[in-house]
Structure 1
Amino acid sequence: MRISAYSGTALAVLLSLLAGCTSSGIDALDIVKSSKIDPAATASIRPMVPPTGLDVAEAPRQTASTIEVTSELGFAAEHAQSPVELAVIRAEEPVAPAAIPVPAPTDFARPKVYKASFTDAKPINFGRLSPHPFEVHGVDVSRWQGDIDWQKLRRDGGNFAFIKATDGGDHTDPNFRTNWNAAREAGVPRGAYHFFYWCRTASSQADWFIRNVPKEKGALPPVIDVEWNHTSSCKKRPSPATVREKMQVFMDKLEAHYGQRPIIYTAPDFYEDNLQGAFKDYPFWLRSVAAHPSKVYPNRDFVFWQYSGTGLAASHDTRIDLNVFNGSEAGWHKWLARNRH
């Protein structure tokens, strides 16, 4: 630390006064003869002594975290009422930035399973092979369901959901993003599905789906919905070989991107025309609203069964598709552990 400007100025004034007493310079000052110095005068002169432990030429390295500077080092009297602390920041001790809170990771292992309380506008008597005893129920939705209260839907027994994302190569469901995010916030395991259009290339449709559906931790596998297009803009009905070839191109691209084997959703007429005995190493989601899938799709294993298109739930005002997982609650948790991102 350097001597203060106030102390340096006082010393210079004192020396100049002493030097002015003679024309011979400081060496000729007669200060050794005590008889020439008035004792009363000397008593009023305070020696200019640096503070203890401080070298005038060079300041020692500071080791304390603060330095107290008082009026004795030259500060005006009004600043001397209390010590002033000057912070010393050491280069070797940088100040760490404030930590940014990180949300706790979501546990996707074992979501709670709620008992289904859905009703049906057009109930079907399935006999002994009814979907109602199944332990894990879920839904599939699109823009036609309007605004959905996902928290309420989950409590009603919506333990999983498939949400329409895209169809063809240039259309997205306008409610997809809203449903996708709200279902996740409600803790509903959900996947996205694509309605396949037989008048577009499979590759372009896969690209469109990938462009619009995020690759997200916790999502169910993507779904390809294959049915005959009942629209005036596309009346093509390719051969079974062409159908399967197009499906394979689409599914290969999705599996390469998402790292999950896609699920195949289909209806009885399309299955009978094109898919009997095919894609045995793919999971199937089967529509069968009048009988158990084993009656409609003989010798076909399945993971999900869509048993109604006229379901009712307290979460929204319109009808909704109802589904079940083909297994127990324990089996559901095992399936999730193997097939989610």
Structure 2
Amino acid sequence: MRVLGKILTVVLLVALAACSRSPSPGRGPGVTYGQGSGPRFGDSAPHSWVGGHPYNHEVHGIDISRYQGNIDWNTVRNSGVSFAFIKATEGGDHADPNFRRYWYEAGQARIPRGAYHYFYFCRSGAQQAAWFIANVPRERGAMPPVIDLEWTASKTCPRRPPSHEVLREAKIFKDILHRHYGQRPIIYTTVDFYRDNNLGSWPEEFWLRSVAGHPRIVYPGQQYSFWQYTGTGRVPGIGGNVDLNVFSGSPAAWRQWLNRRLQ
């Protein structure tokens, strides 16, 4: 994996509003990074990284939901965001109220984007796939859909079914979306869910959450395309914190990845 030139600058206080790097009242120590034409992001609660540093990656992106509010997408793009995953649906009856607006605005800003679904264990995979399809357009140029597999904290669905049921219903969901959108869904997951359900046995493309250590340590031996490394990122054009991610390869590998999927 190639990395971006110099080690990125570390400072004590940060809050990025538009392109400003002035300290923000009420926020603790943070980090800003980015030089020259590279990403200009920050983190309001950075970790001490073990096994590798995400800030050195060259291809960064965001994942968002309604909690990000109004977004200045052109500013986001100019800050160095190369992709966006946008929450579309949850379970079998909830749609993110900002999804369609974000989908349109990100497209207008020419930011590659994909939609993700938060999987519930109180609805079948088929029901959830039908709900996702009802809300997410089949659009040429979109990135693959994403299935977010993690243990839910919802009071309406506290179930933790056995692994064989999890894998069965998630596979049904994935297969239906694959047929409809023509692209195999990406699997987003967390450390505990990955281990509890032996997701390493799946021959799928992964987006891994790891906010304190490099995925090669946290998910040993697992190949992945995307790494979500913080939930407290700061990006010009977005008020408040936002999830930040990196693509695992170089800019050339990123262009190849897009070209294979955005036909």
Normalised by the length of structure 1, the TM-score is 0.65
Partner of 1:187: 110
1:115 is displaced (CA, Å) by 1.9
Partner of 1:160: 83
Partner of 2:26: none
Counterpart of 1:305 in 2: which secondary structure? Answer: strand
> What amino acid does structure 2 have at the position aligned with 1:329?
P
Q: What whole-Å deviation, never above 9, does each CA across 1:137-167 have from its counterpart, x for those lacking one?
A: 0000000100100100111111100000000
- The answer as to whether partners of 2:228 and 2:246 remain within 8 angstroms in 1 is yes
1:277 is displaced (CA, Å) by 2.8
Partner of 1:311: 233
Partner of 1:239: 162
- The answer as to whether partners of 2:189 and 2:209 remain within 8 angstroms in 1 is yes
1:235 is displaced (CA, Å) by 1.1
Task: Report which structure shows greater RCO (CA 8 Å, sep ≥6).
Answer: 2
1:276 is displaced (CA, Å) by 3.8
- The answer as to whether partners of 1:168 and 1:205 remain within 8 angstroms in 2 is yes
- The answer as to whether partners of 2:141 and 2:261 remain within 8 angstroms in 1 is no
> What amino acid does structure 2 have at the position aligned with 1:304?
F
Q: What whole-Å deviation, never above 9, does each CA across 1:213-269 have from its counterpart, x for those lacking one?
A: 001111000000011110111111111111110110000000000000100000011
Partner of 2:197: 274
Partner of 1:224: 147
**Higher-Rg member (1/2):** 1
Aligned: 1:295 with 2:191:
no
* Pairs aligned (count): 227
Specify whether residues 127 and 268 from structure 1 end up closer, same or farther in structure 2 by C-alpha distance, changes over 3 A only: closer
Partners of 2:198 and 2:261 in 1: CA distance: 23
1:278 is displaced (CA, Å) by 2.0
- The answer as to whether partners of 1:194 and 1:224 remain within 8 angstroms in 2 is yes
Q: What whole-Å deviation, never above 9, does each CA across 1:90-118 have from its counterpart, x for those lacking one?
A: xxxxxxxxxxxxxxxxxxxxxxxx62111
1:171 is displaced (CA, Å) by 0.7
Aligned: 1:214 with 2:137:
yes
> What amino acid does structure 2 have at the position aligned with 1:161?
A
- The answer as to whether partners of 2:50 and 2:214 remain within 8 angstroms in 1 is no
Q: What whole-Å deviation, never above 9, does each CA across 1:250-303 have from its counterpart, x for those lacking one?
A: 0000000000010000001111100343212x1100000000011111111000
> What amino acid does structure 1 have at the position aligned with 2:159?
K
Partner of 1:197: 120
RMSD, aligned α-carbons: 1.0
Aligned: 1:284 with 2:206:
yes
Partner of 1:17: none
> What amino acid does structure 2 have at the position aligned with 1:335?
W
Q: What whole-Å deviation, never above 9, does each CA across 1:7-52 have from its counterpart, x for those lacking one?
A: xxxxxxxxxxxxxxxxxxxxxxxxxxxxxxxxxxxxxxxxxxxxxx
1:127 is displaced (CA, Å) by 4.9
Partner of 1:325: 247
Structure 2 residues not aligned, in runs of 5+: 1-36
1:128 is displaced (CA, Å) by 5.5
Partners of 2:176 and 2:210 in 1: CA distance: 28
> What amino acid does structure 2 have at the position aligned with 1:313?
V
Counterpart of 1:277 in 2: which secondary structure? Answer: helix
1:340 is displaced (CA, Å) by 2.1
Partners of 1:127 and 1:154 in 2: CA distance: 29
Partners of 1:161 and 1:237 in 2: CA distance: 29
Counterpart of 2:101 in 1: which secondary structure? Answer: helix
Counterpart of 1:272 in 2: which secondary structure? Answer: helix
Structure 1 residues not aligned, in runs of 5+: 1-113
Partners of 2:251 and 2:50 in 1: CA distance: 22
The 5-angstrom pairing of residues 27-176 of structure 1 reads 115-127=38-50, 129-176=52-99
Partners of 2:135 and 2:121 in 1: CA distance: 20
Percentage of matched positions with identical amino acids: 52
- The answer as to whether partners of 1:283 and 1:303 remain within 8 angstroms in 2 is yes
Greater share of strand: 2
Partners of 1:141 and 1:257 in 2: CA distance: 24
Counterpart of 2:115 in 1: which secondary structure? Answer: strand
1:123 is displaced (CA, Å) by 1.0
1:316 is displaced (CA, Å) by 2.0
> What amino acid does structure 2 have at the position aligned with 1:337?
N
